[in-house]
Amino acid sequence: MDQSNKEKLQDLIRSLSEEELTTLKYFLRCRSVGEILASRELKSLGVRNPSKVLMRLVTLGLLKRGIGCYTISRELLEAYRQGMIRI
Looking at residue 62, its pLDDT comes to 96
| pLDDT 10s digits, 40-72 | 999 999 999 999 999 999 999 999 999 999 999
Task: Note the helical H segments in 1-87.
Answer: 3-14, 18-30, 35-44, 50-59, 74-81
- At 35, which CATH number? 1.10.10
What's the rounded mean pLDDT across residues 10-36?
96
Domain-located, residue 77 = yes
This prediction has a pTM of 0.91
Number of domains in the chain: 1
Q: Per the domain annotation, does 30 fall within a domain? A: yes
Q: Is the Cβ–Cβ distance between 61 and 72 less than 8 Å?
A: no
Mean pLDDT value across the chain: 93
Query: In terms of Cα–Cα distance, which of 40, 13, 46, 41 is closest to 29?
Result: 41
| Domain of residue 74, residue span | 16-46+53-81
Q: Is residue 87 part of a domain?
A: no
Q: Is residue 6 part of a domain?
A: no
What is the pLDDT, as a whole number, of residue 59?
97
- pLDDT, mean of residues 12-33: 96
Asked if residue 37 belongs to a domain, the reply is yes
Whole-number pLDDT of residue 1: 61
